[in-house]
Amino acid sequence: MAPHIRHLSEKGNARQGFFSDAEFRAIVGNLPDYLQDFTLFAYLVGWRKGEIASLAWADVDGDVIRLRAENSKNGEGRLIVLEGELTALIERRRLARQTKTAEGVTMLASLIFHRNGLAIGDIRKAWATACKLTGIHRLFHDLRRTAVRNMIRAGVGEKVAMEVSGHKTQSMLDRYNIVSETDLRLAMRRTQDYLKGTVEDVQILSVPAAVQ
């Protein structure tokens, strides 16, 4: 007889931690040059650190970047289309592709994001230093949460946001606790504006017609 496995409830397990745009820009400004575009990509797209580090120029096809299935945590490939700030980011990476080895030999890096031509590895020390300098204490993974929330706030459908970020299930997306205090404040403000307009309409209807 197979053993009974009790599934733990995910209630109260919503992920916390989001960047405002100002907080994000402050953190980036205190990171080493080789990590700035790397971090911006995470903020805009919401991919995982390892997925971003794996991206090679061979994965770029015109204005499309394809993440290979073997480099994706969920085992499925996906793509993004370069628009706006992403386009400028990739152009900067093209300019930064040429690098020199320790022996002084000039070479073209095969990876989009690299450090002197080598793959970007552990960033924890650089990240902790940037957080300390700015007084903003966030996780790198908070960039992923923030990217998803920004997409949804911008009106992107949840299904499309999941395709971009690589979330396989709705429950995984829900755990990111997309609704924030700002969202709730805006909701109440819009509700109050609606009610105010309704009261004004009633008052106008209640004014007796002018005597002819």
At 76-114, the pLDDT tens digits run 899 999 999 999 999 999 999 998 877 788 899 999 999
Q: Give the residue among 90, 31, 84, 87 at the shortest CA–CA distance from 55.
A: 90
The Cα angle at residue 18 between residues 66 and 174, in degrees rounded to 5:
70
- Taking the C-alpha atoms of residue 142 and residue 144, their distance in angstroms, rounded to an integer, is 5
Task: Name 57's Cβ contacts closer than 8 Å, sequence gap at least 6.
Answer: 97, 109, 110, 111, 112
| pTM for the predicted model, two decimal places | 0.76
How far does Cα 52 stand from its chain's mean position? Answer: 12
Q: Tell me how far CA of residue 205 lies from CA of 197, 208, 209, in angstroms.
A: 13, 8, 9
Does 176 score more than 70 pLDDT?
no
Domains and CATH numbers, the chain: 21-181 (1.10.443.10)
- Nearest 5°: phi and psi at 153? -65, -30
Structure-token match 């073997």, residue found: 70
SS3 (DSSP) at 103: coil
pLDDT band at 168; cut points 50, 70, 90: confident
pLDDT band at 183; cut points 50, 70, 90: low
Torsion, Cα 125 131 134 136, to 10 degrees, reads 180
pLDDT band at 182; cut points 50, 70, 90: low
pLDDT of residue 10: 38
The Cα angle at residue 209 between residues 205 and 212, in degrees rounded to 5:
165
pLDDT of residue 163: 86
At 47-87, the pLDDT tens digits run 999 999 999 999 999 999 999 999 998 888 999 999 999 99
